Structure 1
């Protein structure tokens, strides 16, 4: 080879070397392209006829399917009411709601107007029946607690959009494969959660909270639209055959109708994605602002920033709110709040947001309650056995009850509460003695009355915040808050 190279000039040798490198690089690219094509290609292992038949078979809503839907509604409602994740998952697995949604996506992809009509009709019937059944359950069921499972379905965000879209992709790809992957179908049913949002809509209507109902209905709409959109895109990619009509005029008309329907689905999906993405950006920038500017603030006294009580409200971009809660005997100076406001305005999504700072204070009564708590902690180490521990706890509980009865600073607390909650009409305090006839206990109870024209949703949120604030303010986790109605 060296003898051959001697026949070339240095310039020619360099040119040959470059050509050889390019040739090797092109070969590497070709190999990589072939590998990726074989790895990601799903067309070869797709059974179009079986996939179409399976999707169409799941569309009808009658007989067994109707009873399965009713059972899944009740299971989901009980699970949401009991705050049981396992029960809610069970309801997701048996829910037949996915059938018409896949039917919608397939009919749009294949220009099948008859299947589209049947899918829309069956989905509408399923949705109405689900909401009505859940409404009746929660309306007549005596326990109507706002569990975390229920509240989790009232405020969709960008993560729900991504879950619905990629869940829909996984579902239709699994459906299209020869020998359907059942585990994928079950996993998508759990991830996308179609039934729980509809049950939450019924719950919101039953308690008269239309904000909950609207948020849950939006979540269901997001899941439906993006699963259908994913189905449409995958079947188009797999080149499922279009339904052909003998009448050319009818074929063109149906093609236009399907195109308009597909466009009508894609436009709302784009708007929904934009809205939830904007809310995501607002909350992301708000959390960055708090972490960079509020959290590092140094208190000279016993002040404390309650980061877990931070409230971020986007409100669809109209009058967004950032609410910060502080406790302790030190108030935040006005110049510091003004500085935070200026720093907030440096974020483009926070310029129009209101910065609300809620502050509390300590006094002698709170210090005495703190002393009692420290006294208990010091005596706890002296306990020798279970009986002595019980006796000492009962003695200190009685002592604490007497102190709390005399030391709750209702005047100061009521003034601070009125400053932070403008809809308060009255606030009262009393000690409630309870017994199971073996031992006695005393619970501090605040009773609150709100102004008659107060917004119900705001009152519900303020009740929770006020109770947590009272417990922190008095250093007493036993504080109970009851609402007095006119």
Structure 2
């Protein structure tokens, strides 16, 4: 038993408690550079959610400084330092408001307003999010209290996912969808509270010294408050988890029905849509080369009961005009995306051509007219005329065997204007070393 206790003992490898507290306090504040880092991380996460890029979202979570005040709040509760708790809560509120403001502005300005899967995933929190936040928080706090920090902290930042819910809440505000906003904010609250609670548990377990002596009655009140908050967050999360499980169960039954009754009998399904949130629910289908008569539709509808698919209407789309329209719309959408990409590439290529000169060909021509020119290089450069405007000029830098006279340099300049069709040219002689 003693050997097992030593094996599981968290005091082994523990950092000095005072040093840990100093580090925690130092990471609470949101001022100066920390605010800029947070704002930039929010923009990166928002872009990742906007374009549905998991890698970009993970990158944003790694650079986010949001964990600081949450862990600080957990420590302050554990040692009953209420001044530290006020400071942590204040800084967490500032960080939350800054994050919401930046993400809302980004999504308002972004031309892409489609709700991507990465955004949708943050609008319906459930009990699994609580488990991730709590156990992820435990890992993070244990790592913070070690002499050797190891590599769990980045993993905790990714697992507990504080940034994406805040960005999704900003997205909800930007498009005026309160369901998305409240769902994402609820997930963010879950993450914050359960990371804080896991911190409180570890601080108590490691017996960090209390800052002030707290009356046992007041201590009980704190425990009751924490318990109430846990219940208030767990109950709706369990309910959402139940709804999610029911939806997955329903869709599995539908997939089984489609496979057994249609796919295996040679029906080529061209289009399918499951409307789970409607009342009654509906399954919309269209087939490639098969016309279904009324009797077959009735048989298929009756077969739904066999798979325990209840309160569901089977809708078979047989109007070829509608089916063709659906295919054409899909193809047109994909074609439009391809055309948009092609246009962007073409514009970039044109810009590159406009800013690029064939210096080798120009030098070969210039040497015929001006034998003293050894080399010449042309490029476009942008200059600030004042604080409000800029001007683009073509800069020509040449080297020569002997100094060109003023008239020869002017002739060269006039020739270049005609040759490259540019009126704004600046001539510079390369300095000899």
Distance across 2 between alignment mates of 1:308 and 1:50? 60
Distance across 2 between alignment mates of 1:191 and 1:273? 18
**Quick one: which of 32, 43, 47 aligns to 2:11?**
43
Distance across 2 between alignment mates of 1:140 and 1:268? 36
Distance across 1 between alignment mates of 2:330 and 2:98? 43
**Quick one: which of 301, 308, 312 aligns to 1:355?**
312
The answer for the alignment partner of 1:61 in structure 2 is 30
Q: Is the counterpart of residue 279 in structure 1 residue 279 in structure 2? A: no
- Per-residue deviation, residues 411-457 of structure 1 (Å, max 9, x unmatched): xx3xx9xxxxxxxxxxxxxxxxxxxxxxxxxxx9x7xxxxxxxxxxx
Distance across 2 between alignment mates of 1:70 and 1:300? 53
The answer for the alignment partner of 1:340 in structure 2 is 304
Question: 1:50 deviation in Å?
Answer: 2.8
**Quick one: which of 274, 279, 298 aligns to 1:310?**
274
Question: 1:174 deviation in Å?
Answer: 0.8
The answer for the alignment partner of 1:264 in structure 2 is 228
Q: TM-score, normalised by structure 2?
A: 0.66
Question: 1:61 deviation in Å?
Answer: 1.7
**Quick one: which of 117, 142, 145 aligns to 1:148?**
117
Question: 1:306 deviation in Å?
Answer: 7.5
Question: 1:221 deviation in Å?
Answer: 1.8
Q: Is the counterpart of residue 198 in structure 1 residue 160 in structure 2? A: no
Q: Is the counterpart of residue 112 in structure 1 residue 75 in structure 2? A: no
Aligned length: 328
**Quick one: which of 77, 91, 95 aligns to 1:122?**
91
CA shift in 2, pair 1:102/1:300, >3 Å: closer
CA shift in 2, pair 1:89/1:216, >3 Å: same
Distance across 2 between alignment mates of 1:336 and 1:36? 61
Question: 1:197 deviation in Å?
Answer: 1.4
The answer for the alignment partner of 2:383 in structure 1 is none
Distance across 2 between alignment mates of 1:230 and 1:295? 45
Q: Is the 8 A contact 1:226 1:269 kept in 2?
A: no
Question: 1:125 deviation in Å?
Answer: 1.4
Stretches of 4+ aligned residues off by more than 4 angstroms: 291-294, 298-302, 304-308, 319-322
Q: Is the counterpart of residue 238 in structure 1 residue 221 in structure 2? A: no
Gaps of at least 5 residues in structure 2 are: 335-433
The answer for the alignment partner of 2:134 in structure 1 is 165
**Structure 1 residues 185-194 or 213-222, which shifts more?**
213-222
Q: Is the 8 A contact 2:127 2:234 kept in 1?
A: no
Q: Is the 8 A contact 1:309 1:324 kept in 2?
A: yes
Q: What RMSD in Å do the two structures reach over aligned CA positions?
A: 3.2
Q: Is the counterpart of residue 212 in structure 1 residue 180 in structure 2? A: yes
CA shift in 2, pair 1:88/1:180, >3 Å: same
The answer for the alignment partner of 2:154 in structure 1 is 186
CA shift in 2, pair 1:278/1:82, >3 Å: closer
Name the SS for the 2:283 alignment partner: strand
Distance across 2 between alignment mates of 1:290 and 1:36? 50
CA shift in 2, pair 1:163/1:243, >3 Å: same
Distance across 2 between alignment mates of 1:297 and 1:132? 51
Distance across 1 between alignment mates of 2:279 and 2:71? 37
Q: Is the counterpart of residue 330 in structure 1 residue 292 in structure 2? A: yes
- 1:351-390 to structure 2, matched below 5 A, reads 354-361=311-318, 363=320
Q: Is the 8 A contact 2:126 2:238 kept in 1?
A: no
CA shift in 2, pair 1:157/1:361, >3 Å: farther
Gaps of at least 5 residues in structure 1 are: 1-32, 314-318, 346-352, 364-408, 417-443, 447-469, 482-486
Name the SS for the 1:170 alignment partner: helix
Q: Is the counterpart of residue 225 in structure 1 residue 193 in structure 2? A: yes
Distance across 2 between alignment mates of 1:320 and 1:105? 44
- Per-residue deviation, residues 375-399 of structure 1 (Å, max 9, x unmatched): xxxxxxxxxxxxxxxxxxxxxxxxx
